[in-house]
Copies of this chain bind each other. A is one copy, B any other.
Amino acid sequence: MAITAQQFDELQRRLAGGKKATAGAKVPVPETVSVPVGGTIFGLDPSLRGTGFGFVRVLKPRPVLIACGTLRCPSSWTRSRCLGHIAASLRDLVQTHKPDVCAVEGLFFAQNLQTALIMGEARGAALAVIAEALVPIFEIAPRKVKLAVVGHGGAQKIAVAKMVQRMLDLAETPEPDAADALALALAFAQETGRHSLTPPKRV
């Protein structure tokens, strides 16, 4: 699904307000949060059956991995059981690691309405928990995450995982969902404290 920058902006606006942008419509001002050295960024890649998560501490000369993994829900579980599991597990993780911010994918891809509904449900279960813990949530476009981590926006998943491994000096390549979550955290870390034409958008 290729979209133009203009379409992307429009989608972001509509995601923000839930309706088509019109002249004079109130668009929330993107707000930035600077994570200080020693602070923690929570990268999150929610999905019903495999939610990737990664916590990264902002340190010099390089960020350090605190924890990462994938919340798996077997296909035998009902959707609601998965949603409850995602919420409960993320609540524990947030209480344990006390992140300063959370970074999620800004424009995520769905093949059709049903996929979008199911992805939306997993996201909603996850974001509600993080919002209740009063952790500010920012969206970063997938292209921008790849650009920040690999250096070009069309990078393959495995290239992202390899760069995440290198950037965090890990012994092994993280599994794909965890790697995507860590990439979001690392992309947010790179945005911290520098000027950007398209800063992560608070949602």
Interface residues of A (CB under 8 A from B): 11, 14-18, 26, 28, 48-49, 75-76, 78-81, 83-84, 86-88, 108, 110, 112-132, 137, 202-203
Complexed CA–CA distance, A124 and B17 (Å): 18
- Once the chains bind, are B203 and A78 in contact (CB under 8 Å)? yes
- From the candidates B28, B75, B119, name the one contacting A17 in the complex (CB within 8 A): B75
Closest to A135 in B: B80
Which chain B residues border A120 with CB–CB below 8 Å?
116-121, 123-124
| Oligomer copy total | 2
Nearest CB in chain B: distance from A53 CB, A = 16
B contact residues around A115 at 8 Å (CB): 18
Checking B15, B26, B80, B87 against A203 with a beta-carbon cut-off of 8 angstroms, the contacting residue is: B80
B26 A75 Cβ-Cβ under 8 A: yes
- The answer to whether B78 touches A202, judged by C-beta atoms less than 8 angstroms apart, is yes
Given contacts A83-B128, A84-B131, A87-B128, 11 further A-B contacts (CB under 8 A): A15-B79, A18-B48, A80-B127, A80-B203, A87-B87, A87-B131, A110-B117, A116-B117, A120-B123, A123-B124, A124-B126
B130 touching A80, Cβ below 8 Å: yes
When the two chains form their complex, are residues B130 and A127 in contact, meaning their CB atoms are under 8 A apart?
no
CA distance A114 to B16 in the complex (A): 10
| With contact pairs A87-B128, A127-B80 given, residues A113 and B113 touching in the complex (Cβ less than 8 Å) | yes
Q: Please indicate the chain B residues that have their CB under 8 angstroms from the CB of A108 in the complex.
A: 117
